[in-house]
Structure 1
Amino acid sequence: MTKHKQHATNMLTFDIEEWFHANYDSIAAPDRSRGSNFRAHMDTLLRICRETDCKATFFVLGCIGEDYPDVVKAIAREGHDVASHGYAHELAYKQTIDEFRDDVKKSVDILENLTGTKVLGYRAPSWSIVEDNLHYLEVLEEMGMKYDASIFPVKTFLYGIPTAPTEIHKPRVNGREIDLYEVPMSVMKLGGKNIGYSGGFYFRFFPRLLIKYAIRSANRRGHSSIVYLHPREIDAYEQKLDLPFKENFIHYYSVGRTQNKLEDILRSFNFTSISEHLKSNYKMDV
């Protein structure tokens, strides 16, 4: 049964990668010989978007475009935003600026050749735009991109800029405001600190009633929330990396319940892609 949606518009995003793409230290080389359920995951995500009348931004790895060109074309054909997630899921803060530029350009060239449309946005693997490499955003500006969605205003062992603005803005880099929108991940205050609630581990960890409350609260204040998930997060039976306890908990907690929670959230609120949100609310030029 279709539920009545709240009026405010939020943003739906997916980071499109395989089950073995991760950036924890000292991961054993995964056995890829058994393949994956990637195509089934993508069919499911696209179906859910259709059935809930939601548009999304799909941040796609360049190597996914090479391995699954038909999937990338299907995303674009259904009216979603195809954006870059880099080429091979390498941490941006472990790349030199030239390596970063080459990595992003390689992915953009692959995606644009597949879809025939300009790539407008980027999200770094594992939120790896941090304070030390914030100037890498100038590379995206040089490439003519319109937005970045790589900054998480929290602090974890892997990523985050806890002092970053929590609203969409044009960041200042090297003393000037760059011509690029930053779309930071949604956070709520808990114990005086920013914490995510609507994507990845946070989406899987928090009960849906709390997520709905947080989204509704943001919308009442005139703000939008961002949901993000990976294809592997909707499948408890997908292959798994051999990870230490903490990383395993973060990576796989509650994957068996994610799909139903996602469908419920998407039926309860309005969601669109980042590019459509920026065009409608910030008059973004394309």
Structure 2
Amino acid sequence: MPLPEGEPLTGVKAEGVVNALTVDLEDWYQGLEIDPEDWGRYEDRLAIGTLRLLDLLAEAGVRATFFVLGYAAERAPDLVREIQARGHELGTHGYGHRFVYRLGPEGFRADLKRSLEVLAKVGSGPIRGHRAPYFSITSGAEWAFEVLQECSITFDSSVFPVKNYRYGIPDSPRWIHDVGDGLVEFPLPTYRLGKRNIPIAGGAYFRIFPYTFTRFGLSEINSTGHAAAFYIHPWELDPGHPRLSVARRIRIPHYWNLKATEGRLRRLMREFRFASMGEVLGLDA
């Protein structure tokens, strides 16, 4: 797709760095900290944003990694098969969208195995990648890496090197690194400002910060030769999904500027190079 007249290519697409485009496949109500026992009360709209996203990816010629929530795969197995049929990589997002550090080792192991069983029934083939709900592998929950290794996961993208009330390991490496025993961590992208890491390039940060900040942050990462992991949710491409009266700290980042998501994503995929996480890590060579 050509750039609009007068809009220069300001990213680093021509420089050869390929970033990972990732999707947390979950429905709109599953990240609002609603009790899973109450999920059945809410309208399922997963297909709306997912099909729109698949079309945008096809237009841009981008292959992505979809971290699939097991619960969502049970409810919409044909949608997961469609994602795979379009050539995208599947990973696991756990089963019940629970905070890993609250589950504990045994709870996390059970949740992870349940998600892998659901994906196997859908016909996913071997699952190599994992992302924790809420990026909830945090300081004190590093035991989760051992559980991932037990389940033959080879790459994880759960660690956000920031300080947030729900997640983050501020002093964790900002770049792709080995965790040990065949497991690689692909952390979420940040911009280093003084002694702090500022989150960029995904989810609410993509909608709250000006697009120019995302572009600047990704360009800075790529200029060092490193790849970044951009993330998005299907519901961010469905701005008409219901608005719930949840806590302000949850409501504002969830609903803020949803109408801007599609346009910004189109522009991002024009200005930067993207592929699946497996491709970026060289696992599909």
Asked if these proteins are the same fold (TM beyond 0.5), I'd say yes
Q: Does the C-alpha gap of structure 1 residues 105 and 31 become closer, same or farther in structure 2, counting only changes over 3 Å?
A: closer
State whether structure 2 residue 26 is matched by structure 1 residue 17: yes
**Is 1:264 aligned with 2:273?**
no
The separation in 1 between residues aligned to 2:230 and 2:274, in whole angstroms, is 9
Q: Residues of 2 paired with 1:115 and 1:12: CA distance?
A: 22
Measure the CA separation in 2 of the matches of 1:30 and 1:195: 34
Q: How does 1:114-193 map to 2 (within 5 A)?
A: 114-171=122-179, 177-193=180-196
Deviations 1:141-195 (A, max 9, x none): 1111111111000011110000101111112xxxxx3320011001002353101
Note the alpha carbon deviations across 1:30-84, whole angstroms, 9 max, x for none.
Answer: 6755623321111101001100011111010111111000111011111111000
- Cα distance in 2 between the residues matched to 1:95 and 1:34: 24
Shift of 1:252: 1.4
CA-based RMSD of the aligned residues comes to 2.0
Shift of 1:19: 1.0
Q: Which runs of 5+ in 2 are unaligned?
A: 4-8
Report what 1:174 is aligned to.
Answer: none
Q: Which residue of 1 aligns with 2:246?
A: 243
> What TM-score do you get using the length of structure 2 for normalisation?
0.91
What are the residue-to-residue correspondences of 1:30-45 with 2, within 5 Å?
33=41, 35-45=43-53
SS of residue in 1 equivalent to 2:31: coil
Letter in 2 for 1:21: Q
CA–CA separation in structure 2 for the residues paired with 1:226 and 1:285 = 17
Q: Give the CA deviation at 1:98.
A: 1.2
- Give the partner amino acid of 1:265: L
CA contact (8 A) 2:36 2:96 kept: no
CA distance in 1, matches of 2:248, 2:184: 37
Cα shift readout 1:180-216 (whole Å, capped 9, x = no counterpart): 0011001002353101110111111111122112212
Task: Give the aligned partner of residue 216 of structure 2.
Answer: 213
User: Is the 2:186–2:229 contact (alpha carbons within 8 Å) kept by the matching residues of 1?
Assistant: no
Scaled by the length of structure 1, the TM-score of the pair is 0.90
Q: After TM superposition, give the deviation of residue 22 of structure 1 in Å.
A: 2.1
